[in-house]
Chains A and B, each alone.
Chain A
Amino acid sequence: MQNYLDGLQELWYKMGRVSVKNVSRVFTKKEENGGTEALHDVSFDVEDGEFICLLGPSGCGKTTLLRIIAGLETQTSGEITLNKVPITGPHPKRGMVFQQYSLFPWRTVIDNVTFGLEMQGINKAEARKHAEKYIDLVGLEQFKNSYPYELSGGMQQRAAIARALTNEPEVLLMDEPFGALDAQTRNILQDELLKIWEQKHVTFIFVTHSVDEAVVLSDRIVVMTARPGRIKEIVTVDLPRPRCRTSPEANRLRDHVLKLLEEERFHK
């Protein structure tokens, strides 16, 4: 009975339903009146444990939307909730991996990964034990005592993923995390990310500008229009996993999404 309750509690803690309702964001500058509208009336729901990709032409506000979900920016109107609770600021429940290398260069890999636990006041030995699990998960056991400058770009992003996961977030927000990597490293990291997603019950919201990446990774792709960003279409990717990158079905989907993006180019 007790075990069952613990299990329920675990599930409860790890619910990650994100709901975006009529969100708009206007950037105002002092010199101009009105400002530029980055997001216009965006609404969609993300199911618990779902893998969602935000895809759109550059400057369409997908990163802005992600940053609002993270609590690093605020919307001009509308509301975003996580498990029905409105988002007001950053919180470790919503982990984030950035496009730029964001590991703290003055901390070793393991000290980076334990950072979130340290902030929660967990003692060092326990934090290290916990962090090591996640370092193993991303395959950096050998490099846990290295400084970030000693790691390649791919390894740095792996460590950043481990750092975000160690807080056991309900939602993991990823802002083009593999954007700066070469194609092969990218593919490897995508596969590893999917493995992690299957092992850990986490909701993923993943910003990308790569159609291939979106098709390989996501359950659904939220395709956005050019600025101001609106939702153009939400494409369901019902390909069986593990996915084959070159299957005819994948190609058909890619084709469809690319056409959507192309339309946006001509609108401009």
Chain B
Amino acid sequence: MAVGETQVESGSEPGTKEVETGWRATLRKIKRDTTARWGLYVITFVLAITAYTLIDGNLSRLTFGNVSDFAMAEALPIFEHPERLPPPGEADTNVPPAFHADGSMAHPLGTDPNGRDYFTRIVYGAQVSVSVGLAATFLGLVGGTIVGAVAGYYGGWVDDLLMRAVETVYAIPPLILIIVFTVFVSGGSPDVRFAIIGVGIAFIPVFARIIRSEVLSVREMDYIEAARAAGVKDRNIILRHVIPNSFAPVMVYATLQIGVTILIVAGLSFLGFGAQPPTPDWGEMLQTSHSYMHSNVWLSIWPGIAIMITIMGFNLFGDGLQDALDPRIND
């Protein structure tokens, strides 16, 4: 009954070979790329630790308060809640790492001047640093994608209005913008949540510009015209046709940006505008430890290493993703 049944065309052999497409193909390319693979391993490792700290509240006894709720940790000063002091080694402040002559395996990375186990704090620091990095990047990504896609798709005065607004934000140095925003919004009591929003807003411009430039070429594609001719609503054209086809470079940039975000949030915490003590954020830990630099240099080295490894992981992965998503580089 099929009208064109007899007209079988050559060109692709159905059923002979399963061709991998989409995400599977991208993942396969990444697995083949050694550096990208290591990036993926590191990210997986860091994310696994983060996930673990979120599930296991028990370990948090070893730090100040329940770190999965940093607002609470902040609200509960140690003097009022002595029970939250880490049970082991209460008196053992400034214990050096295990490989040191005075160290012990009870505290593999030693303890801080308050007697808190440093290993636990680094592990829980992953939760704060990584989730803040991811959340802020995600915020910038979503905001930037919407702004950029709408501006690029409609063009004209919509484009002018949105892009000029975005460029105004772009003209302000990000750290200053974030600090001013945090101070303004938090009303003098800085909190890591405000830092997330601030960093997210500061990143909207770059994402918006990247996706807009992609959208400008994608919107001229015949399939956009075809969707329009088929009576698809503008909103659905943007969401289903324009954004998915402009997303690859933004995705790569976002992956690379996560590392930068973590660094910026660490910097903010270091300056006192991000996570507040006693929340174990890597940046905050660097900040508190820098006054002990002479007595115990390891307190500064561990969070530094943690930040470095995490950022490197995201960067390696981002580079690999860029290659994997680039159609010009074939396998």
Q: Is A bound to B?
A: no
Q: What is B's interface to A at a CB cutoff of 8 Å?
A: none
